[in-house]
């Protein structure tokens, strides 16, 4: 008898959950889910430079470490020469390790001590970027890369997110009105990866757009004289109540 009641109860639960009208706490029937997109274009007024320090020695960790520290001092001097503010400098911890080749040529066993560290900084004067590259190479730094940036990127991330939510509301209002319904309040806001909005997850698209403006660059001007724009996108998924 108990087994019979248990089976009947289980069948009733499965039947209710399978009904089209079933409602869950986070997915009510009367809802509308809309994507909102926004993007801001900012003038590029910075260059973000990444320098990789990497030094090796066949056996002596101290020698590799000393070479690394000497390179640090050279890099610090370059940063001072170009007046890079400390708040615009970030770096990873110095990593020292030993690499062992376990599959060398017959009769050989290769070992190597390696130091690695990444330094990232911002140059706020685009016209000095060429001189900076020459200074880095002259100081012995050959592993570096750079990308355009904007000093207003962080505040624009917030504005882009706010605009994306506004766009979502406008779209939802039109859709609800067209369906003869009324838009209610916001039930949830997520980014497109199904997580709560986190501003740090909004990113700067380092691809740039050329803007010549009203004054075209002269024939003798360099490429850095042509204004560039940074694209900052945002996309959110907003669930509204539908009345």
Cβ atoms 84, 123 nearer than 8 A: yes
pLDDT of residue 81: 97
Q: What's the rounded Cα separation, in Å, for the pair 26 and 33?
A: 12
pLDDT of residue 111: 84
pLDDT of residue 239: 93
Per-residue pLDDT of the chain (243 residues; tens, 9 = 90+): 554 444 334 444 344 344 444 444 555 578 899 999 999 888 999 999 999 999 999 889 999 999 999 999 999 999 999 999 999 999 999 999 998 877 667 655 578 899 999 999 999 999 999 999 999 999 999 999 999 999 988 889 889 999 999 999 999 999 999 999 999 999 999 886 543 333 233 344 444 444 444 444 444 556 666 778 888 899 999 999 999
pLDDT of residue 193: 53
Nearest to 71 by CA among 107, 117, 8, 22: 117
> What are phi and psi for residue 36, nearest 5 degrees?
-120, 130
pLDDT of residue 30: 87
């Amino acid at each position: 008898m108990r087994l019979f009641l248990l089976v009947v109860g289980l069948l009733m639960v499965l039947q209710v959950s399978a009904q089209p009208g079933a409602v869950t706490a986070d997915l009510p029937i009367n809802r509308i889910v809309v994507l909102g997109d926004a993007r801001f274009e900012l003038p590029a007024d910075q260059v973000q430079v990444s320098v990789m320090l990497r030094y090796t020695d066949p056996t002596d960790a101290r020698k590799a470490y000393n070479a690394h520290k000497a390179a640090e001092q050279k890099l610090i001097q370059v940063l001072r020469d170009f007046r890079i503010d400390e708040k615009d400098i970030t770096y990873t911890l110095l990593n020292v390790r030993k690499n062992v080749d376990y599959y060398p040529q017959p009769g050989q066993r290769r070992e190597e001590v390696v130091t690695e560290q990444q330094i990232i900084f911002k140059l706020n004067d685009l016209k000095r970027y060429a001189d900076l590259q020459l200074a880095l190479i002259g100081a012995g730094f050959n592993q570096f890369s750079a990308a355009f940036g904007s000093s207003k990127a962080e505040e624009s991330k917030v504005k882009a997110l706010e605009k994306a939510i506004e766009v979502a509301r406008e779209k939802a209002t039109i859709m609800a009105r067209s369906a003869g319904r009324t838009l209610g309040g916001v039930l949830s806001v997520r980014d497109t990866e199904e997580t709560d909005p986190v501003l740090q997850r909004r990113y700067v698209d380092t691809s740039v757009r050329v803007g010549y403006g009203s004054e075209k660059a002269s024939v003798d001007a360099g490429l850095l004289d042509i204004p560039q724009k940074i694209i900052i996108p945002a996309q959110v998924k907003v669930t509204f109540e539908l009345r």
